[in-house]
Structures are given as structure tokens and as C-alpha cells.
A and B are shown apart, each in its own frame.
Chain A
Amino acid sequence: MKERIESVQAEALERIAGIADMKALEDARVGILGKKGSLTQVQQGMRDVPKEEKPAVGALLNEARAAITAALENRRNELQQQLDAAAVAGVDFTMPGATLPTGGLHPISIVRDEAVRILRRMGFTLSDGPEIEDEWHCFDALNTPDDHPARNEKDTFYFDSGKLLRTQTSTVQARTMEKQAPPVRIICPGSAFRRDAIDATHLSAFNQIEGLYVDKNVSVGDLKGTLEYMLKALFGSDTAVRFRPHFFPFTEPSFEIDVLLQAAGQAPRWIEIAGCGMVNPAVFEAIDRETGKQLYSGCTGFAFGIGLERLAMIRWGIRDIRLLIENDVRFLAQFQ
């Protein structure tokens, strides 16, 4: 009996060691430990073992079963490891990917959103107004003289109704102030139109972001501080900003703002980025006259306007403004 157990065990272990796949391993388990398995059959011989020997033979049988079970388990683990290794052996991480449909935002949306986020962080709220405007909101309210060149069919798109396409988003200044008492702290991104032929640097429809802050005692210092903050947030903390006196009918004093552009490999140069100024008292007077309320007398304020196309062109070194209206995916894909 003892010899038989040992020989079955030895045979079984040898068989297990030679097994190369999971199916053969399962067959071996059944062939050895199953109902009709070789060890099971030996076990059935226990009946004939003398009683006094039974404990020793039983122990021997248990040892054999444990050894075989362990061998099966080990072999199973080894085979699984081999299988797993084989399963990932062929993976080539250098293969190109499959392709998903790609999409992205338009660069004007990207710069507009960035400017809007910065200005909202500074406590400005969005406002809006129509693009089809009347002369009052576009010119009269903004202290533009009757004979100003902009009020001309050659410079501004008019409609037969006498209305016009707003030439600047500053119209929203008047639109907001006539609805609302001070303080006013608004921005308005939007389209403006001028009767320019389209070329590499001009569009007859373009985008601006307008800002207006009106309250008691708003100062040139506030204008400066606000715009320096905004331009540093847009162009980086170490951006140099300068204010050049200029002329706009609706602000006085008026300034153009330049930032010092430091492109790699180029001499730094000042780039005009925005117009701004202290709101001309004539604008407040026009609003008060129109509304019949004296809400804005005694107020001061500042206003500014930035061209979004210009912002995008500076940021990404875009040379031809027409790329921004052509929507060629080879261009758009660069802004993903």
C-alpha cells in the first residue's frame, strides 16, 4: 500500500511537471484526484489496510493528496503567468492611435473668454446691446460731432431705416447707463462694423471688448490700475504697459495703451493693444438729458476697448486677420 501511494504520487508529480496547458492540467487533476483518479483508486484500498496501519497510511495518503494539490496549484499559477505574459507580449505601444473626431474652440472665443474671466474676477459684469443701432447710441450719446467722418455712409454701414451697424461696442455704455443708475461696472464683448475693405489687417466686421466703470470719484489712477492689472493678467505678470495720450470723442483725457512685446529673437517693441480714457462729461450729460434723470451728474468714470482679433493675432503671431474668418480646420486645429 505504502509503495503504491508513493508510486502514484511520484507518477502524478512527474505528469504535472510535464503539463503545458490548462486543459491538460485539468485532465490531470481529474485523472489523479477525480472520482476515478489514480490516487482516489489507491485510497479505496484503505478498506483492506489493517486497522493498526490505517493512521500511518491515512497520513501518507493525505500527504500525497496535499503534495499533488499543491503541485497542481503551482503548475496552474506557472501556466497562468505564461499565458498572461504571452497575452501582452505582442503589444506595440509605438503603434499610432485610432482616431476620434476632434474639435475645438475658435481662437477668438478663447481670447474673449480669457479676457472676460479676468475682468469678471475684477468685479466687472457682462452687459450687451444690439448690433443694429441708432445714431443716438452710436454717436450722439458718445459726443461724436454731427460732421464726424464716422457718421458717413462711406465709413459706416447704414440701413435704409436710418439705423446702422454699430461702429464700436461703446454703444453698450449708453445702453447700460440709460437703464441703470451708477455705479456701473460692465464689460461687453461683441461685434462692431466699419466699412473697410477686407485685407490682411482689416475686417469690416470685427470683435471688441468694451469696459466701463462709473461711480463717484473714479480717477485716472483707477483707469491705470485696472488696465495694468488686466493686461498683466492677459500677457504675463512682467508685462510692461504704457499709456499714450490720444483722442476719442467719448473720453477725455484719452489714451492708447501699448504693451511691450518680447518675442523670442526679436527686439522688444511696443504694440498698441487698447484705447481708453476718462468718460467725457458730455456723455453723462447726454444720458441724463435722454433719461430726464440726473443720475450721472457728478459722476466720473473710465472706459476702454480692446480688439479681440488684435489680441489673438499678437498672442499667436497670426499675420493675416482673414484666417480668423475663414475657419479652415488646418488653422483651427492649432488651438485645440
Chain B
Amino acid sequence: MNVSLNWLSSYIDLEGLGTQEMADMLTFAGIEVEGIQERGVTTDLVVVAQVMEKTPVEGSDHLNVCMVDAGEGSLRQIVCGAQNYKVGDKVPCALPGAVLPGGWEIKDGKLRGVESRGMLCSASELGLPDKEHGLWILPQDYAVGTPVRSFVPTDTIFELEITPNRPDLLSHWGMARELAGITGRNLKQDPAEQPTAAIQTCPAGDYITLSAPEICPFYTATRISGVKIGPSPAWLADRLVSIGLRPINNVVDITNYCLFELGHPLHAFDAAKLTGGLNIRRAAEGESFTSLMNEQYSLTPEDIVISDASGAALALGGVMGGLDSGVTESTTDIVLESAWFLRSNIRFTSRRLALGSDSSYRFERGTSPWNVLRAAARAIELILECAGGTAEPVMVGGQAPCLVPEENATNATVLEQGTEGKIYYALDQVQLDWKELDVMTNASIPHLEAARILRRLGLREIDGKGTWDCPPWRLDLKRSCDLLEEVVRVYGIDNIPATNTSIYVEESAYDRASDYRMALSRKLAGAGFWEAQTFKLIAAESIDPTIASVEHALPIKPLMEGDIIRVSLPISEDHSTLRPSLAPGLISVAARNINQGLEVLRFFECGRVFRNTGGGKGKDIENEVLGIFMAGKLNPASWADTRPGEAHFEHLRAVLDILVPKAEITLNPSKQARKTAAVGADILINNQACGYVARIALASCRALGLPMESYYAELDLRKLQQVATAPFKAAELPQFPGSDRDASLDVPADTRNADIVKAIQAAKQKLLVSCRLKDVFCDPSGEKLAADRKAMTYTFLYRDAKKTLTAPEVDAAHKQVLDTLAAKVKNLKFR
């Protein structure tokens, strides 16, 4: 909301407060200052000048060199780029030395080599709303040399962001009241007080029918006849312009003015366009409404409309007037509406129709019923003053809703408004617990001071026992903690000493999970992997292969129908689905980076994946997993290594090995296909299913521009943590040396390493400490080895914990292992 300092100053004396001081004060009252605009000129160096000559600057299509009379006795040469003036016009002229809004200092200078000694100004250059495109053409009766500041008042406009709990601040009077509370300065005359006291009211009888009292229980209408529609007086138009509104006509301007003065929206109908009385009713399903902006809307029964005896919807209650019922230049009689609407309905209507107004903005944040008659009275006063006519008594339909909880209502202080058909307004009572204040502030705020703050904010203690009447404009004050907040806010948190209490807190499982995740991440970073953090919302499918989509999921367990969790109303299809795997994100990261020429593609991510159990009707499951992507070169090329090797599966396997170095990792070819996997295997760690590893489908690699050998592994982080952080005791070092024996096995080419390892384990040789695959040899030419065979050389280490083995003992053990191998592995020969 824009707040004009001049306007504000008519309600509170702000003398001596600097702009910044005022901004700080608002900030520390909880009102965000989003911007400050200084309007108008404060210098005498901007004066009225008359253009006496105007000749085009050579070589420029828009510059003119002007000789102007600035009242200095001689003409002044100024180059000007504007197009909207002619010789003889009077315009503002900034003389050298003038500082314009925004800190712009005018100096003598040259434009296109032509001397220019000052600047002819537009309104916006003087910090004023622009009225025309180009220079500000002044009335001819202004004398040259007159400082512009003598007829243009300066103003400061604060752009304020009001938090949703404080609708009472959405007006100049409301803001003045708040500043009075904060600063202790005195308020001037309440602009609505006298008109309200003088106003005549009467029951509306059957003129107002409240057909939906649950939404609109309280509606007033005032007939004013014989008004003369015309432009608003300058003071009123200027105020509206200063906060960014466009003046329309006196009556409409006054309703807007009252909204920004008192915070309560009003609406004026042209009485000639109404038939009979007003009916405030829910809209019919599909009912059509044309707004005063000439936009058509289709309504629902959640919307409230003002209609008349003809049944037509004349206005969308609380939101906007209709096209045909508003005030125009030919209007002579008006009906002025001031009413109260339930905030949730106005919000619903405004959001559903994407139709917001200054009026709906206030109603949906909550308006005070107490303000209904005040705003009406103030508007009537101004209309009679500015547009003439005579007002009938305010017709009161329904009654101000009681917003006080039932249990408090009986004891409530009740305010009264009006003469006949009176309006009653019950004040909320809040019991303030001083002990709570002491606990919250470490007793640093004296109770007397707290009470003074509350009184300044308009509260009244009614019984000396901590029962306070809340002012009728503060609908947000309902409980003790609301009052404490006011005290702390106004007293200032700066004045409350900081303390620091710490208690013993046991380390949680989440602490350990976080520690593990960081240790794991650092290990992977050290192994040359970049940690990525990809977006959790991905596409269900996408024609652009570089967009992360569910199609690229390589989850630990394959996806079933209905596993995918999709948001109901995505912003875009690319971010519509919760990722079931980290693979789509990491694959898209790899694709992005390979496009940047990166050759070593190693990425990992730790994060949540999501899926539903049971076809979308089961539980939503969130799991923490680790995803690892690996492809491309093993290291970047350099002069020392001009042709680095390519990453193959064994390199990814090496990474798995360093994650859980002490555990046994088994990979079992997976029987369940995933779309983006060329081949895949389940990862078992110590025989527990723990992850999935895949070579990415070659078609996907081609589509994404990835290396044909791209690998991905996804592992369950919690299971990894269990294995990797299991407690252990350090082993003693062996006391006696061991002995190596090599064996080279000649086996069919399709023999798997696991078959051989299994056979070796079957030997149950106690002296065998370890065996290691040392070499694999194939010869497709068939010269050194048949093409359908391969030679696998293993090194076996034998050791006895209690003695040094003799050669015959080692040989005997080795023979037993080899015999078992020969018996268990089909078609095996020793080389």
C-alpha cells in the first residue's frame, strides 16, 4: 500500500521525523517498507521558464536547441529531446546546481557538441506523476523565474507491505493511529468521528433484503439525491494521484478516498439504474456478471451479489461494481453502499475469478463492522461538500456481526452507532497474564510500561485484574499472547537482554544419519565425484531427453503401476511428479555437463525418492538414497596422460567397494527390467538387498549424447549406513608370513567370476586368507587361446595364524583348492 506523508500528516503531527527515522520506526513496528519515493522538488533552482526559440540540432533527429527565458534577464541555451512543446510554452527548467529526485545533479554540459545550460523537465523528472508524455507544460499564468516548489508541494510516498494479520493498517488513518501508538505522539481529529456522531440512521425495512446473512449479515445504503457529478476538488484529486490512483469523478473519488482514509470499502450506485430495493444474495450457479471493467464472469453460489428488484447482479459484493449500475456524468441520485462481508467468501471469489480490487483486498483480510457506518458517514459528508445534494438517513439492514466469542459476549463492552435502527458493536475482551509476560521477557518489561503501551494502542483495562477491552479496529487481538506480542513489539526486542540457555540433548538417529551422509559425500567428492542436488519434481515423461523424467528412473525396486506420485495441479509438466529415483536428475545433469564439454562424468546425489505403495491408494513412502552416475574418461587428459582411459563397469564397482570396504558386495543380475537399463543387477551387501546398478540403455545414451558406457547405481542410504558404521574391533596384525600361489584357469568365455569364487569358497580351505583376480586374458583370434575360452589368473594367499607354513603345507592347501575348482567349475582346465 502506498502511504503519502502529507496525507498522513493531516492526522498526526510528524514534525521533526526524518524520512529514514520514520521508515525505521515502521520497520520495527512490523511494517515492511518496500520503497520510499520523494515527490516534488525541494530546490529553488527549478523554475518556470518560457521557450522563446527552438531550432533543430544539426545531425540529430530529435534534439532541439532552445533559448528559454528563466526570468534571469537574459536567455539561456538548453538542448532538449522532448517533442511535445512549442515556442511560447511555459515549462519547468532545472538550472545548473539543481538536484532532482533520485540525487541527479544538473550541470552545464554539451549535447552533440552543443552547449546546454540546464534541463527542461517532465513531471516525472521532478518526482511527480506524469500527466503528459514529455515536458510538463505549465499554465501560461505562471510567471517565469517562479520556483516550481512554490506551486508543487513535496511529498514522501512510503510503499508499505502490511502483514495479513493487520488489515487495520490498510488506510492512512489506521497508519496514523499505529504511529501514535508507537511514538506516543497525539492523534489529530478522527476524520470519521464527527460525521458519524451527526449521522441519521433508520432501519432499512424492506429496502434491503439480506438473503445470505451468513456471508453478508450487515448492509447499509444511503440515498443522496441531487448530486452534481464533476471533477473532484484539487486537494482530493491530488491525494488520490499521490498514492497512484486515477481520479474519475467526485463521487467515485470520494468512495476511493474513504477507503484509503479509513480502510473500509464503499460503493456508489446510480439510483436511476436501480429498480426497487436491494437484495444481497448468493449468485446462481453459472450466473453471468459484467464488471465495471467490462469483463464477463460466470458466478457460483459461493459468490455474493448485490441485485435489485429486477434480479440482475448489479455488483459483485465486496469485489467490484457492475458495468451498468455505476455513477456516470449524468447521474443525479446515488445510493451509497457500506457493508460487511465474510472474508473467506470474498477471498474465494477474488481468487477463483482472479479478480482483485482495493476493496476485495481489505474484505478478504477482515474489516471491522464498526467501520461500516463511520465510512458511510464520512463519505456522505464529503459528497455533500463536493457534489452537493441531500442525503436521506442511512438505511441499516441487518446488524453488525458479533465477532466476540460467545462466552465473552455477555460481559462485553458494547459500542453504539446511529440514531434509529442502531448499530451495536461488542468489544473483544482479553485477559492478560502478567506472569506470561515475565516468562517471555525474563521480566525485563515493567508492567506499568506494558500497560501504557497497550493503552496507547487503544486498549482499555476495565477491571484492574488484567481484563482488557480491545479497540474495535483490532480484530487480531483475541488472546493473551496477542497482547504480549503488542507489548514486545512496541517496547522493542532490542531492549530485552539476550540470554542463551542450553540443555543436554541426546544425539538422535537423525544426527547420526546426517553425519554419515556428510562423511559419505566427502568420500565420494574425494573420489572425484561432484555432488548434485537435483529438483525433486520431475516430468512424468518428456520428448526432450535432457529433461529429468520418470522414464529415466532406475530405482532400487522396479516401479509398478500406480507407484508414481503426481501433484494435482503442477506448474508445468516438467515438474509434475515426485522423483521415484535419483537417476533422472543425475542423468540430466550428466547430459547438461557433457554439452559443456565435460569429459569426466562423475556425479552423485543423496536425497529422498518417493513412491506410493499400492497403486496410488497405499502409503506414500519416502526413502533416502544415494545415486551415483559414472561415464566418460577416468580423469581429464593432460600432457602427462594424453589419452586417459574410459570408465568401465569395474570402475563403478571400485567405487561401490570403497563405500563399504569391509562388507561383502554381491551383484545379482536383475530379472526385473527398468526402461532405461541396458543390463542391471541388484546390489546385495552382506547378503541384504541394498541397491541396484545398471548400464544405461544405449538408446538413451545416444539420445542424450552420453558415452555409450554410462553407469548408474542407486543405494539405500540407511542400509549403507548400517553396514558402514557398524561397530568393530581392530584386528591384530598377522604374526607369521603368508605364501602366495598363482593359478591360471582356462575356462569357457561365459564362466562368471562369481562361479569361480563360489567354488573356491566351497573348498573351505582354512589356510586360504584371500584370493584375488590378477589377470583376464582372451584372444578373439584364437591363436594363443581358443576364441570361446578365457584365461583367468588368481593369486591365492595362504597363512597360518600360529606358525610359518612350510612349502609342502602351502602346496597341499593350494592343491585342495584347485581340486575343488576342477570339480565344481564346468569345463575348467589349468594352464
What residues of chain A have their CB less than 8 Å away from a CB belonging to chain B?
95-106, 108-109, 113, 116, 120, 122-128, 130-132, 146-147, 149, 152-154, 157-161, 163, 165, 183, 185-186, 188-189, 191, 193, 195-198, 203-205, 213, 215, 217-222, 224-226, 228-229, 242-247, 252-255, 278, 280-282, 300, 324-330, 332-333
The 8 A CB mask of B490-524 against A (1 = contact, 0 = none) is 00011011111111111110110110001001101
Query: Smallest distance from the beta carbon of A198 to chain B beta carbons, Å?
Result: 8
Partner of A153, one of B518, B565, B568, B596: B568
User: Could you say which residues of chain A place their CB within 8 Å of the CB of B824?
Assistant: none
Q: Which residues of B contact A330 (CB under 8 A)?
A: 596
- Give me the interface of B with A, judged by CB distance under 8 Å: 27-30, 32, 163-166, 343-344, 347-348, 351, 436, 439-442, 444, 479-482, 484-485, 488-489, 493-494, 496-508, 510-511, 513-514, 518, 521-522, 524-537, 565-571, 575, 578, 589, 592-593, 596, 598, 600, 602-603, 608, 610, 616, 620, 622, 634-641
Bound-state CA distance A122–B566 (Å) is 39
| A252 B482 Cβ-Cβ under 8 A | yes
**Closest B residue, CB atoms, query A229:** B500
Given the complex, which residues of A lie within 8 Å of B534, measured CB to CB? 325, 327
**Does B514 lie within 8 Å of A116, measured CB to CB?**
yes
Q: Which residues of the partner chain A approach B481 to less than 8 Å between Cβ atoms?
A: 252, 278, 280-281
Number of A-B residue pairs having CB atoms within 8 Å of each other in the complex: 251
Identify whether the interface residues of A are mostly helix, strand, loop, or mixed. Answer: mixed
Is A132 a contact of B622 with CB atoms below 8 Å? yes
Task: Choose from B347, B442, B502 the contact partner of A149 (Cβ within 8 Å).
Answer: B347
B493 to A220, Cβ gap below 8 A? Answer: yes
8 smallest beta-carbon distances between A and B, as pairs:
A101-B528, A245-B30, A247-B163, A98-B640, A126-B510, A225-B500, A225-B498, A147-B344
| Chain B residues with CB below 8 A from A328, complex form | 592-593, 596
B503 and A324 within 8 A (CB): no
- The docked-state distance in angstroms from the alpha carbon of A253 to that of B637 is 59
**A221 x B536 contact (CB < 8 A):** no
- B506 → chain A closest CB, angstroms: 7
CA distance A110 to B272 in the complex (A): 70
Q: Which of B506, B507, B530, B565 contacts A103 (CB 8 A)?
A: B530
Closest to B524 in A: A103
Report if A103-B531 is in contact (Cβ < 8 Å); known contacts: A98-B638, A185-B505, A225-B498: yes
Shortest A129–chain B CB gap in Å is 9
Interface contact A215-B608, CB-CB below 8 Å: no
Q: What's the Cα separation between A163 and B603 when bound, in Å?
A: 32
Give the contacting residue for A157; candidates B489, B499, B567, B637; CB below 8 A. Answer: B567
Q: Are B608 and A327 in contact (CB under 8 A)?
A: no
Measured between beta carbons, the chain B residues less than 8 angstroms from A220 are 440-442, 488, 493, 496
Chain B contacts for A195, CB-based, 8 A: 569, 571
A219 to chain B, nearest CB (A): 5
Please state if A222 and B501 are interface contacts (CB–CB under 8 Å).
yes
Residues of A within 8 A of B608 (CB): 131, 191
Asked whether, in the complex, the Cβ of A215 is within 8 Å of the Cβ of B503, the reply is yes
Assess A246 versus B30: contact at CB under 8 Å? Given A226-B500, A327-B530: yes
Candidates A100, A120, A204, A219; contact of B528 at CB < 8 Å: A100
CB-nearest residue of chain A relative to B601?
A329
Min CB gap B549→A, angstroms: 16
- Contact yes or no, A191 B536, CB < 8 A: yes
Question: What is the bound-complex CA distance between A125 and B514, given in angstroms?
Answer: 11
Chain B residue numbers with a CB within 8 Å of A101 are 527-529, 600, 602, 634-636
Residue of A nearest to B598 (CB): A329
Chain B residue nearest in CB terms to A148: B164
- Chain A residues with CB under 8 Å of B29's CB are 245
Q: What is the minimal beta-carbon distance from B25 to any residue of chain A, in angstroms?
A: 12
CA A327 – CA B528 in complex, angstroms? 15
Q: What are 26 residue pairs bridging A and B, where the CB atoms are less than 8 Å apart in the complex?
A: A97-B638, A97-B640, A100-B528, A103-B529, A123-B504, A146-B344, A147-B344, A157-B570, A158-B568, A161-B620, A193-B537, A196-B571, A213-B501, A219-B441, A220-B441, A225-B501, A245-B30, A246-B163, A247-B30, A281-B479, A300-B439, A324-B533, A327-B593, A330-B596, A332-B530, A332-B532
- Cα A130 to Cα B598 in complex, Å, equals 36
User: B513: which A residues are within 8 A, CB to CB?
Assistant: 126
* A130, A132, A188 interface centre (most CB from chain B within 10 Å): A132
Nearest B residue to A116, CB-CB: B514
